[in-house]
A and B are shown apart, each in its own frame.
Chain A
Amino acid sequence: MIIAEHRSDTDKELLDQMYQLRADAFGVRRGWRVNIVDHKEIDQFDDLNPLYLMSVDDNGQLLASLRLLQTTGPHMLADVFGELLGDEPLIRSPLVWESTRFCVNTKASSIQNAGGVNSVTCELLEALCTVANKSGLTNLVSVYDVFMERVLKRSGCIFQQYGQTVRYDDGLKTKAGIFDVNELAMTSIRNASALPKEPNYTGKYWSELDVA
């Protein structure tokens, strides 16, 4: 199931699982320059009470997660990856949120869709687009590397690069992108993922959105 909840509403044990998954995915596997304390990756943006989307299995194990922040305030593209903008203006809009810290627990799930994308990834991307759409947003913005870019394309996401490409520490080319979250985008992701059934949504924010 997919849980959509703010930091303050999230079960502490689940939060810890998420921070540990992030430490593993970014610090260990990808070798990013992230701050890991006690096997957990937490940064200053988590203190802003983001909205987290978390994919959890029936045993309560975290399979994948991401976080959402408003672009009107501090966010990664504005405060960490500004170089990616190049000549483009910074995005500040109440109808554009930023998605970051997307990670998947590849040990816990390995079923893939026709495009070779992990089904958990597909499900989380579909949930992300749905949340954005139902919240009244026009777009999402996100920073990704070329590896993730392939995954996003094969998952049916409709997006365009925004700004320039920069090679950071891990050597992978990194870009910022603007994502569509309209009906067309939702359909595209749904078709590409071809999930056998509708994801099971839960959490305080889902019921508010009338999706559950």
Chain B
Amino acid sequence: MEELLLDFSQRHSTFDDVGQAQTALKGFRSTSGISDAAFLITNLPTTDGQGTYALSTYTEDWHRHYIARNYLDIDPVVQNALTRITPFEWGVEDPNPALKTFFGEANDFGITNHGLSVPIRGIRGDIGVFSISSDLSTKEWANFRHESQSDIMMLAYYYYMACLDIEFPENRAVELTPREYDILSWASKGKSTHTIAEITNLSPKTVEYYLANIRVKLRAGNTTHAVAMAVRWGLIDPLN
């Protein structure tokens, strides 16, 4: 998953349109362990009133079936994402007959049993949910989830931010504070966390914390990538 995160962030730091977002979703399927991916965002305060977007790698047939049955109202993934902040699994046994039907039908359309969804609360009152489903065995899936949970949460957020750019271009704007600028500049010169800590008179843990924050801000998979992004956008000067 770490590679997937790095790969995604290097190729898609932003989306210009829904088509690009859809293509990126398809790209996730080539990762072992992931059979499908989906993304929904709702409650967007857009000017044209179109506040909900749904993308997935599921078949056209399932999409048609989903819309015809008004499944947006009972889809447990959507309903859960609206009412909780924590990642959640789906596809588990549910006594609710409507949901049994829902998942049974999803199976018929090739959507597998194991899935993980990550809800994201946005600053505009919007809610995003990024989902992956898998055809791994139950045991493999448990391992996968255990190892990759944090990476999946980060990937979900980067994907969400890239989608937000489509509707709100100002979302792309990134600024570094003076301290972040200093720390990232030293990192760009190849200084280790320890050295940066000595130079800036901070603890190594604090420097690590700042670098982690910078990585998220720049939607980078690792620090080297963060440096590359910062240079590309003129946030730090490579020649300094």
Please, which residue of chain A has its CB at the minimum distance from the CB of B149? Answer: A136
A172 interface residue per 8 A CB criterion: no
A48-B121, A72-B122, A138-B150 given as contacts; is B216 within 8 A of A92 (CB)?
yes
A49 interface residue per 8 A CB criterion: yes
Provide the residues of chain A in CB contact with B125, threshold 8 Å.
Answer: 74
A187 interface residue per 8 A CB criterion: no
B153 interface residue per 8 A CB criterion: yes
B206 interface residue per 8 A CB criterion: yes
Tell me the chain B residues, 193-234 only, with Cβ under 8 Å from chain A: 203, 205-206, 209, 212-213, 216-217
Provide the residues of chain A in CB contact with B88, threshold 8 Å.
Answer: 208
Whether A73 lies near B86 (C-beta < 8 A) is no
A54 interface residue per 8 A CB criterion: no
Chain A 151-175 near chain B by CB (<8 Å), digits 1 or 0: 0000000001000000000000000
Q: How distant is B24 from chain A, measured CB to nearest CB, in Å?
A: 18
Whether A69 lies near B150 (C-beta < 8 A) is no
Residue from A7, A50, A93 in contact with B213 in the complex, judged by beta carbons closer than 8 Å: A93
Whether B121 lies near A136 (C-beta < 8 A) is no
A8 interface residue per 8 A CB criterion: yes
Provide the residues of chain B in CB contact with A208, threshold 8 Å.
Answer: 86, 88-89
A89 to B184: give the CA distance in the assembly, Å.
Answer: 14
Whether A136 lies near B153 (C-beta < 8 A) is yes
A81 interface residue per 8 A CB criterion: no
Tell me the chain A residues, 44-64 only, with Cβ under 8 Å from chain B: 48-51
A49-B82, A88-B177, A93-B212 given as contacts; is B150 within 8 A of A70 (CB)?
no
Whether B213 lies near A91 (C-beta < 8 A) is yes
Provide the residues of chain A in CB contact with B153, threshold 8 Å.
Answer: 94-95, 136
A89-B177, A94-B154 given as contacts; is B209 within 8 A of A178 (CB)?
yes
A130 interface residue per 8 A CB criterion: no
Whether B154 lies near A95 (C-beta < 8 A) is yes
Residue from B87, B157, B212, B217 in contact with A135 in the complex, judged by beta carbons closer than 8 Å: B87
A196 to B87: give the CA distance in the assembly, Å.
Answer: 32
A205 interface residue per 8 A CB criterion: yes
Number of interface residues of A (CB under 8 A): 33
A11 interface residue per 8 A CB criterion: no
Provide the residues of chain B in CB contact with A91, threshold 8 Å.
Answer: 213
Whether A72 lies near B121 (C-beta < 8 A) is yes
Whether B121 lies near A87 (C-beta < 8 A) is no
B67 interface residue per 8 A CB criterion: no
A101 interface residue per 8 A CB criterion: no
A22 interface residue per 8 A CB criterion: no
B47 interface residue per 8 A CB criterion: no
A136 to B203: give the CA distance in the assembly, Å.
Answer: 24
Tell me the chain B residues, 113-163 only, with Cβ under 8 Å from chain A: 118, 120-123, 125, 149-150, 153-154, 156-157
Provide the residues of chain A in CB contact with B122, threshold 8 Å.
Answer: 72-73
B180 interface residue per 8 A CB criterion: yes
Whether B209 lies near A69 (C-beta < 8 A) is no
A120 interface residue per 8 A CB criterion: no
A6 interface residue per 8 A CB criterion: yes
Chain B 13-32 near chain A by CB (<8 Å), digits 1 or 0: 00000000000000000000
Taking Cβ atoms with an 8 Å cutoff, the residues of B that contact A are: 82-89, 118, 120-123, 125, 149-150, 153-154, 156-157, 176-180, 203, 205-206, 209, 212-213, 216-217
Between A and B, 8 residue pairs with Cβ closer than 8 Å are A8-B83, A48-B121, A49-B82, A51-B84, A72-B121, A92-B123, A93-B213, A160-B203
> Which 7 pairs of residues, A with B, have the shortest CB-CB distance?
A73-B121, A136-B149, A136-B150, A94-B157, A8-B83, A6-B84, A70-B121
